[in-house]
Amino acid sequence: MPIRTRLMIAAVLALGAGAALPAEETAAMLPGVVLEGSVETSTDAVIFPGDGNGRLQVRGCDSCLHGGVIPVDARTTYVIGGDSVSLREMAQYALRTPGHALTIHYRLKDTIATRVTVLVR
């Protein structure tokens, strides 16, 4: 399938028009490999490490693939409402604003977090 066709299909799916297609048909049109997983939680359920080479601890995620412990490294990014922030700023924000939606994205191959994002209401 030409790249232009794939891009058009991806755009349609992103806009929600692909929701009417059966999942098997959609998957066949856009073959790929899943590279990341994610954990959806809240700001009050995460304990942040003291430095950029520690581990995030997610309360209540005992059945998760990684047991609720997700390593971070110097390449992990932190985003609050679309703005990049430091690990320290993210940890402080989480302490000040409990209950906000927080998502941790991690690589499946080694479970290291690639980014941590918080939605701002």
Global pTM value = 0.71
Whole-number pLDDT of residue 31: 66
HSE-CB for 17 with a 13 A CA cutoff: 6
pLDDT of res. 118? 97
What strands, in cross-sheet order, belong to the sheet with 77-80?
A: 36-42, 101-107, 113-118, 77-80, 83-85
Whether 78 and 86 have beta carbons less than 8 Å apart is answered as yes
What whole-number distance in Å separates Cα of residue 97 and Cα of residue 20? Answer: 38
H/E stretch holding 55: strand 55-58
Average pLDDT over residues 59-67: 77
Q: Which amino acid is at 31?
A: P
Question: What would the pLDDT profile of 19-30 be if each residue is shown by its tens digit?
Answer: 555 555 655 666
* pLDDT for the residue 18: 45
pLDDT in tens, 6-59: 445 555 555 554 455 555 565 566 667 788 999 999 999 999 999 888 999 999
State the average pLDDT for the chain.
Answer: 82
pLDDT at site 20:
53
Contacts of 70 (CB under 8 A, 6+ apart): 39, 55, 56, 58, 104, 106, 111, 112, 113
Which residues lie across from 117 on neighbouring strands?
79, 103
- Helix (H) or strand (E) segment spanning residue 71: strand 69-71
Give burial (CB, 10 Å; 0-12/13-18/19+) of 90: buried
